[in-house]
Structure 1
Amino acid sequence: MYLCVGALSPQELEDLGGIRRREYWYNDPTESDEYILYAGKMPRWDCGEQDHCDFEWTWEGSDGPIDGYLEYHFLIDNDPNRRIWHGISSFRRSLQLCRDARQKSEAHIGRQQHQAFYQVARRHRLPPELRNQILGYVEYRDPFPYLEKLDLAEAYVPFPRVGGSCTHCDNTKGETTAKRTCPQKAMYVWNLALRRFHTFHKINCQTWSLCAQHDCKGHHEDYNWKVDRDPGFSTYLESQAARGNDEFVSLEQVGFGPMNPIRIEPVEDLIGQDALFRGNGVYDEAREDILMIGGLGGLKDAMIHGRTLTAGWEGDTELWYNDEEEGVRDVPTTWQYGRNLYSEKVAKEVMRGLHSEADCDWCINVPDEFELIM
């Protein structure tokens, strides 16, 4: 059940109650017709807070323009009944910053409360049983592993400016590698999962390549800046994830690895799909988060295959898998955030080109070029 009301002026916005926090109500149709206000924290899939109940949801409020979403459809000329849906989050990067700050502040405040209580408990010599019972009312969640060491102020810098004049290029004659890799000609795409920019340079009129240098300054004199096919891409991705984290070990350690195993029994897979990816009501944010980091396959898998795995099964089944004994399901990737759809398309194409030369076990359901544009 959804009710959307739009305000076209500040007065209309005030008349509708202004910008206020979104509040959720849920209903269990097997119990009653009553909707109950959800009073808990926003669920997080990485904390095991998944949608196992399939309640009916409704809400009031919008969180303001930062949560805005623009939807549009592509119509197929020779098939008027078919259309391709797509949408763009108006301020997806800013929204992610708010969510990241909320996670880190929750953990920071929670740890401070526990430290203060431990000092009081030790001073008054409270028994451990009583101490643990009291702490049960002061629960908090640690941030997502990758966020633990991430400096938000350092990571969330503005998009680099491009398209301006360059004194270096103006004073250089001819077409050189340094001119082609000028920062004013570069393309920057934000990785929502890594909270970092990827830099792309053109190596000729049509071909873009990924730059390996963090915070690239451009004007490269040779081609040592190019990220090569895997394992070169894996090295680059790990170097990005390790920035600012002297305890970094692997993508798996910071939460970007694949589920293990990816393929499971069909019944378990069906339950898992609903729990992680249904995204009804208050669980929509958790769904966006797990899709952003690559779904079941992890971040690297999503980036080099151009799709995000949401299901993986093996075994005899009479469910809705068309009697296939093994397979996967997927959705488009959401790690990329560019200035426009073209830059996102380029980023996805370049990343797919960095797959190792040999096919892997997960080179299935990869999209074609038209789907990449979407």
Structure 2
Amino acid sequence: MEKHKGFLHSVAEENSALATEIDQLAAQSQTLSQDEFDVAIKQCLLKIYDAIIKMSQHRGHPRTPRSKVFDAWESLLQPIKALTQLPFGDFLTARMLLYLAMGLRAQKALDLKTSRALSLKPDFPLNQIDIAMDNTLLQALGRIWTDSDSSETFDWAFGEYRIGHWRVEDREKEDVKRHYLTAQALTPTEFASLDSIGGKRFVFAKKNELDDTDDDWWAPFKGSVPGDNYERSRSKVHIPDDDEVEADEWVCKTVGTDGPIREPINCSIFDERENRNYCSGLDYFPRSCQFITDARRIGKPLSTIKGRILAERGLSHAGIPPELRAAIFSYLDRPFWHAYLSKVDIVKAYAPFPNIESCSECDQDKQTCPVKSMYIWNVPLRTFFVFHRTKSNVRLLCKYGTNCQGHHKDNSWKISKEKDFQEYVEKIVKDRCGSTTSLSQVGFAPATDFTLRDREEDEKRSERLFHDRGPIEDSTKEQRFNGGLWGLVASMMHNKVLLGSWQGIDESSTCSTAAEWALARCLADKECAETAIKKMHSRCNLC
């Protein structure tokens, strides 16, 4: 165990020294030649990459405290954050974070089995390093998005980000060398020239045209989902529309991987009450991945408009008659605006998870002191909910939201009734989208007449709208975290997503799953927030 502790200590010291080296390198940017500067940056990237590989391959010792291992992993954030000072620094930082996630996923020193009681604690180390990584990546992505004038697509964030254990003598082999060169890429252009995969892609086929011996992982494709214009306009292959799906049975398969931006780290949690183990996937970058999806949804119509403007100028300059220009434009993509995101400043909205460790206003923590507050990321609304603890030790939602300064003088901050909660959600939407905007206009209202008369039709609808389906998985995911058929408010009130509902002559049924609106620092905070919202609701015919 002492040998392992010594190894972890040396890793932390090396990472601290490397952060200092990067600081010094940034200060020398004006004195070194461009070639010398680039070589020095590549050496720093190589050291970080090698450190991640070394940590991922070390088997450790079973008696080494879990927190010590995580501290060594977290020490890698020092040099990774320091990279932001360099040219394309946010790009370098973001990519090294993705490599770090893959290293954690491949690590061998930690037995990721824990009790439910420990997994619920706010200081559970896996929660803390995930929050730290996600916050750091979000800040880098936000600056890149701003600097690009809302045009960055973040294609480089999706891909294998390979971490392997290669012998020194194997590093000159072409397949191994490529991974090292890719890790040291200094710009998006250089990275693209070395790694052309760019995440997973999709292949479509008609089922009746497949060879009987073709046993690839084909899955049925059921048709469109509301809001999937985003995926369809970005796709490099044609995604069958509803008319094509009605005419033929289409199937789809996935090729490649999106890598750590979407992949979780899996841990086994033992539930003492139920006396059973269950697996839990903890995403490394849940908010960063959502930010990228949102940025693409906002940026796509902007780039479409720019393309149409350039096309109009080119055709006019070439003397093409107006009627012919109009005919040509009918074949070009039209801009599709996301009803909610088009009004949201995502860089401002995706602020880091608040981490308030001390308070200058009070000697002892009061009930509504920011130190004692609980912050929950509302996934569909893209904002933080703030909860305070009352004197009776119950968490309640604060009406001031992200503007909450704490230390409230009276109880006017409390949202404890269903009507007030409905108005609070509506106010968030109106503040962002306009005073006349309704929840239905931005996709948060319940579906109209969502109970069908036929069981088979209900199952088809559920399969089409809510099951992750490759090329339009972001839209199906949005359908779920927006509340499904119930809409956002009812989904939060019941802490469920309604996936299906049908009523025949003699029988009926509903299908639901756990709500997906909340992200928190730990599982305990998430469950506490969900319970606090659910308690506002009195029983109804949907319960």
- TM bucket normalised to smaller: 0.7 to 0.9
> In 1, are the aligned partners of 2:373 and 2:386 still within 8 Å (CA)?
yes
After superposition, the C-alpha distances for 1:25-67 in whole angstroms (9 at most, x for unaligned) are 3444432146799xxxxx76324778955624232132x4221
Q: 1:354 aligns with which of 536, 539, 543?
A: 536
* 1:22 Cα deviation from its structure 2 partner: 1.9
- Map residues 1-374 of structure 1 onto 2, 5 A cutoff: 7-8=163-164, 14=179, 20-33=198-211, 45-47=226-228, 55-62=251-258, 64-72=259-267, 84-118=278-312, 124=319, 126-128=321-323, 130-162=324-356, 164-170=357-363, 179-204=366-391, 206-215=393-402, 216-266=404-454, 267-316=456-505, 325-355=507-537, 357=538, 359-363=539-543
* 1:286 Cα deviation from its structure 2 partner: 2.1
In 2, Cα distance between the equivalents of 1:260 and 1:46? 17
> In 2, are the aligned partners of 1:70 and 1:87 still within 8 Å (CA)?
yes
In 2, Cα distance between the equivalents of 1:76 and 1:183? 32
Higher helix share goes to which structure? 2
In 2, Cα distance between the equivalents of 1:27 and 1:88? 33
Q: TM-score, normalised by structure 1?
A: 0.79
> In 1, are the aligned partners of 2:430 and 2:436 still within 8 Å (CA)?
yes
Q: Which shows bigger deviation, 21-30 or 329-338?
A: 21-30
Structure 1 residues 136, 308: closer, same or farther in 2, change over 3 A?
same
Q: TM-score, normalised by structure 2?
A: 0.56
Amino acid at match of 1:263: T
In 2, Cα distance between the equivalents of 1:110 and 1:54? 29
2:138 is aligned to none
Amino acid at match of 2:368: T
User: Helix, strand or coil: the match of 1:222?
Assistant: coil
After superposition, the C-alpha distances for 1:307-345 in whole angstroms (9 at most, x for unaligned) are 0011011224xxxxxxx6222101111111111111111
Structure 1 residues 78, 339: closer, same or farther in 2, change over 3 A?
closer
User: Helix, strand or coil: the match of 1:65?
Assistant: helix
Amino acid at match of 1:276: L
In 2, Cα distance between the equivalents of 1:341 and 1:220? 27
Structure 1 residues 181, 277: closer, same or farther in 2, change over 3 A?
same
In 1, Cα distance between the equivalents of 2:523 and 2:271? 20
> In 2, are the aligned partners of 1:214 and 1:240 still within 8 Å (CA)?
no
Instruction: Provide the aligned length of Structure 1 versus Structure 2.
Output: 336
After superposition, the C-alpha distances for 1:176-224 in whole angstroms (9 at most, x for unaligned) are xxx2101111110001100000000000363111000032111101110
User: Helix, strand or coil: the match of 2:410?
Assistant: coil
Q: Which shows bigger deviation, 85-94 or 207-216?
A: 85-94
In 2, Cα distance between the equivalents of 1:238 and 1:290? 19
In 2, Cα distance between the equivalents of 1:134 and 1:301? 45
In 1, Cα distance between the equivalents of 2:442 and 2:257? 34
Amino acid at match of 2:496: R
In 2, Cα distance between the equivalents of 1:362 and 1:111? 43
* 1:230 Cα deviation from its structure 2 partner: 1.5
User: Helix, strand or coil: the match of 1:88?
Assistant: strand
In 2, Cα distance between the equivalents of 1:312 and 1:204? 41
User: Helix, strand or coil: the match of 1:134?
Assistant: helix
User: Helix, strand or coil: the match of 1:241?
Assistant: helix
In 2, Cα distance between the equivalents of 1:160 and 1:77? 31
Structure 1 residues 209, 110: closer, same or farther in 2, change over 3 A?
same
Structure 1 residues 125, 8: closer, same or farther in 2, change over 3 A?
closer
2:124 is aligned to none
User: Helix, strand or coil: the match of 2:209?
Assistant: coil
In 2, Cα distance between the equivalents of 1:273 and 1:305? 19
User: Helix, strand or coil: the match of 2:451?
Assistant: coil
In 2, Cα distance between the equivalents of 1:92 and 1:314? 37
In 1, Cα distance between the equivalents of 2:482 and 2:351? 20
| Greater relative contact order (Cα < 8 A, sep 6+) | 1
* 1:109 Cα deviation from its structure 2 partner: 1.2
RMSD, aligned CA:
3.3
Q: Percent identity?
A: 27
> In 1, are the aligned partners of 2:162 and 2:179 still within 8 Å (CA)?
no
